[in-house]
Each structure stands twice: as structure tokens, then as C-alpha cells.
Amino acid sequence: MKVAVYYSNEDVRIEERPVPRIKDGEILVRMMASGICGTDVMQWYRKNKPPRVLGHEMAGEIVELGSGVEKFRKGDRVFVSHHVPCYRCRYCSAGNYTACESLHTGNYDPGGFSEYIRVPAENVKFGAFLLPGEMTYEDAAMIEPLACVVSGQKDLGLRKGQTVVIIGSGISGLLHLQMAKMKGATVVATDVSTYRMKRALEFGADHVFAAAEYSADTLKGINNGMLAERVILCASAEQAIDHAVSSIDRKGKILFFAVSEGDITIPSLRFWREEIALTFSYGASPDDLREAMQLIEHGMVDIRKMITHRIPLSRIQTGFRLVSEGGESLKVVVVPDNTSESDQSRRSRHAS
């Protein structure tokens, strides 16, 4: 089978490997869509891990079942999460599933950028979901990124009537934007890209500013002289972090959804006196994945307009270039070579 092996952003090689053999409780999935995540092109984050098959936003068709698998059938269309909690440790017992060691260390084999993927028994049990009848594989590739946003906003406590500044209007920023608008917030979005600023307006931002022209005074000018109750940081540049710090009001909260390679410096005296909180978000729990799938199924979050490029597996290097350059692209989805539209839209046996 073909796999895309990551060596660097500029060196993603198509190589041949044997199709994985599954064991009891496992399933073998033919990849039908796998999104390229922003973390896939963070070279500083990946530098000690190559060579490796990446890809963790994967949906596909079950082609083989291991002994003991009863909730699925061959031919079922599924989304599969790469990270799942154990539901046994003290973190899981407290409901802190994304702190679970199993969630941080588990994965499927060899990765989502592969023709076939072996899904371990724990992932089958806790992280594999049948797709609703009208949901395409490409739709399903957006479940994991949306679930991460769902998880992050739970910690943020965003609610109706608040003003939120979203710094960075790429795929994560636009998902956060739509979720914030669903909750009745006023959204101010920024970006360095004119293309992404336009897309932020299309997805419902109340105000959009070029990062170079944005400041706390700009925010006050359109927000009744006030700063923002919430800030969501979806960019890692130093200027983006500075904007997050300068935009937050007293008793406010900043969500670091993106992180930089180096440590950050904050004005701790001001944050203490003004009781400003910082929160970080990593990953999503199975409950977050279910919620994201329902949001997509019922059309509450428009994810199809976010998928700007569809790249065959054999041309995945083009996809990595598009994502790393950050030009006129939002979500790049990898599909198998010679995939037909009927393959993408075919319903599950379980669909009514």
C-alpha cells in the first residue's frame, strides 16, 4: 500500500509498505479523506519525530474486522479518532479526558496519510463513529478539528453578549468564529492575510481587521470603549500574542489555541491585579467528537465552504505546500488516488 512519509514540510515521500494486519478487537479502514492539520506543518514541533506517517483527521471505509468486533460491519463508513482516553485513570475519573496519558500516547497505524489504517481495539471501542447517511467522508475529516474547538470553548466559558477577539482567521479561527456566533457573542477577527480576512467576514465576523492595523484602541473604538471579555489566539507570531494580551479586559480569559515554539512572557502584575486568566487547549474527548459530528450533521457549522483543496495521496506534497504557505487555502483534504464523487458521498449500510 501507499503511505506518505513525513521527513520535513518540503520532503513528504510516497513509499510502499505492507497492509497492516489486524488483531482481535481491531478494524482495518481504507482511508477516504484525511485532513492536513496546522500541527502537521509545525516543523519545530515535528523535528525529532521523522520519518513518520502523519494524519489524524481521518474518515474511511471498514474493509476488515477483527474477532470480537460487534458494533461495526464490513463496508461501514466511519470517522476514527487517533487519540482516545483510557476511562480508567484518575484524570478520566475526574472527567479530564484530554489529560489522560493514553490520549496523549495512543495512535492508529501507521497514520491517516495512508491507503489503509489499522485501528487498535481501544480506538475501535472509544474513538470510532459511524457516519450519518448524508455526511461525506470529507465532511467527516472536519470532525476532529471542530471537536478541538468545541473542547477549547468549554474551558473558555464564552456566552451570549460577550465580545471575543479571534486572532488568526485560518481554519481554527473560522471554526471558533462560527461557534462564538452560535453562542451570541460579538466577534472581532484579525489576520495578516487579506484572503482570510474576507473569509472571516463571509463566516459572520462582526468586525475584521488587518493584524498590522489592529490595536487595543481599535478594539475600544468599535466596542463602546471596552476591551474584550474573551480572546482566542489562533496564531503563534509574537505580534499575535501581544495583541491577545493588550485586548483582554479585567476578569477576562485568553485561550491559547495555538502555541509558539518559545516560551511566552506575560505582564503578571497586571494579570494579577485585573484577575485575567490564561487557558490552553489540547485535543478533544470522545464526547467532544460526538458533539462536533452532530453540529456538522445538522448544518450548524458550515464546514464544506472551508474545504478549499482536495489532493490525491500521491500528490500530498502539494497539500503540505499549500498549508505551510498559508496562501489562498483553508482546509486541505487528502483523498485516495482516483477517488470518485460517488465514493465520497456513498451512504452507510446503517443509514435509513
Note the residue count of the chain: 352
Are 114 and 4 within 8 A, CB to CB?
A: yes
pLDDT tens-digit series, residues 302-352: 999 999 999 999 999 999 999 999 889 999 999 999 865 445 554 433 332
Say if strands 331-335 and 307-312 run parallel, antiparallel, or are unpaired: parallel
Domains of the chain are 2-142+303-345 (3.90.180.10), 148-280 (3.40.50.720)
The structure's pTM equals 0.93
pLDDT of the residue at 340: 54
pLDDT tens-digit series, residues 115-136: 999 999 999 999 999 999 889 9
Say if strands 2-8 and 11-16 run parallel, antiparallel, or are unpaired: antiparallel
pLDDT of the residue at 31: 98
Which residues does the chain have with pLDDT short of 70? 339-352
Burial of 79 (0-12, 13-18, 19+ CB in 10 A): buried
pLDDT of the residue at 343: 54
**pLDDT over 70, % of the chain:** 96
The rounded mean pLDDT for the chain is 93
